[in-house]
């Protein structure tokens, strides 16, 4: 498991995405791996180069969801008509459904030797499915644990995007307070800390970055077994795109120490603090200078 945190700030002009890199193997006597990527970026897709997602859950499902999002976003980027928030939402749901349907189909094949389509029709090659078989098949599908969550945020054509998907639940998209957490039980500790700090859409970049950093530490303290150290914080701005910030920077560590016992962080709402953050942002390797022509223009579905 892992923890993921996403916030919109500066009235939607910026977004921050954080996650740890720990993978645990509870069913095996294997030590955890703290070098597993949990963030996925779409820099090779022109309209989605300023969008990222953090994923938590079963590793195989996480990777499959990320690949499917890539496919759906590539399809959407070819759209000739104006792109809206609803189009992005529908593309995310299409990716989730494609993966969920394939997994349910596999459960039916391995348990009953029938397919998802056969269940929907109520027919198999040698006749109809009786009610007991249909009820059992439906129970198998309903009982399948679609163990994957993700937060997707950034900007598409300058418009803020902020979504959370949790298992097979309905996709969420809320801009108030514009705070999402996912993952292990430590995610609750992270959300509690963000609420305590008063994190909302209107918080500035510097203040929000400190809040996210503190929330990551609160999550790690609450669930030391499943949550490892964060590698990097993704910062997405509407005017400069995708950048990264080091969690161990002297600036952030200094703020964390200075504000640890303070009731509020309002004094970070200054242009000086914001500029200090922007001066320490850096492009992630491979992003700056890349053009869409350097990547495949399509991918088979």
Tokens in use for 45?
């897709």
Q: What angle do CA 221, 226, 228 make, to 5 degrees?
A: 70
pLDDT value at residue 297 = 37
Tens-digit pLDDT string for the chain (301 aa): 589 999 999 999 999 999 987 877 766 667 776 667 788 999 889 899 999 999 998 888 999 999 999 999 999 999 888 889 999 999 999 999 999 999 999 999 999 888 888 887 887 877 788 888 888 888 998 888 999 999 999 999 989 999 999 999 999 998 889 999 999 889 999 999 999 999 999 999 999 999 999 999 999 999 888 888 887 899 999 988 889 999 999 999 999 999 999 999 999 999 999 999 988 887 655 444 333 333 333 334 3
pLDDT value at residue 8 = 97
Q: What is the pTM of this model?
A: 0.88
Q: Which domains does the chain have, with CATH numbers?
A: 3-80+147-294 (3.60.20.10)
């Amino acid at each position: 498991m892992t923890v993921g945190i996403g916030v919109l700030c500066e009235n939607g002009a910026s977004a921050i995405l954080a996650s740890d890199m720990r993978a645990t193997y509870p069913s095996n006597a294997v030590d955890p791996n703290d070098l597993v990527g949990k963030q996925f970026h779409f820099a090779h897709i022109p309209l989605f180069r300023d969008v990222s997602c953090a994923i938590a859950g079963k590793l195989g499902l996480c990777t499959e969801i990320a690949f499917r999002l890539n496919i759906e976003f590539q399809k959407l980027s070819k759209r000739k008509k104006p792109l809206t928030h609803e189009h992005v939402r529908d593309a995310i749901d299409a990716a989730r459904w494609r993966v969920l349907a394939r997994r349910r189909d596999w459960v039916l094949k391995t348990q009953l030797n029938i397919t998802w389509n056969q269940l929907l029709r109520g027919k198999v090659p040698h006749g109809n499915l009786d009610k007991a078989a249909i009820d059992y098949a439906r129970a198998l599908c309903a009982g399948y644990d679609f163990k994957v969550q993700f937060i997707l945020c950034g900007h598409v054509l300058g418009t803020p995007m902020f979504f959370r998907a949790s298992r097979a639940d309905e996709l969420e998209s809320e801009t108030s307070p514009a705070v999402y957490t996912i993952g292990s039980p430590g995610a609750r500790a992270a959300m509690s800390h963000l609420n305590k700090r008063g994190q909302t859409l209107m918080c500035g970049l510097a203040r929000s970055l400190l809040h996210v950093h503190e929330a990551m530490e609160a999550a790690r303290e609450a669930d030391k077994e499943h949550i490892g150290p964060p590698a990097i914080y993704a910062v997405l701005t509407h005017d400069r795109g995708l950048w990264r910030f080091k969690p161990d920077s002297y600036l952030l560590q200094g703020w964390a120490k200075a504000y640890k016992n303070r009731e509020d962080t309002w004094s970070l709402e200054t242009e000086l603090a914001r500029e200090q953050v922007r001066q320490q942002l850096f492009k992630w390797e491979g992003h700056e200078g890349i053009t869409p022509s350097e990547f495949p223009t399509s991918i088979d579905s």
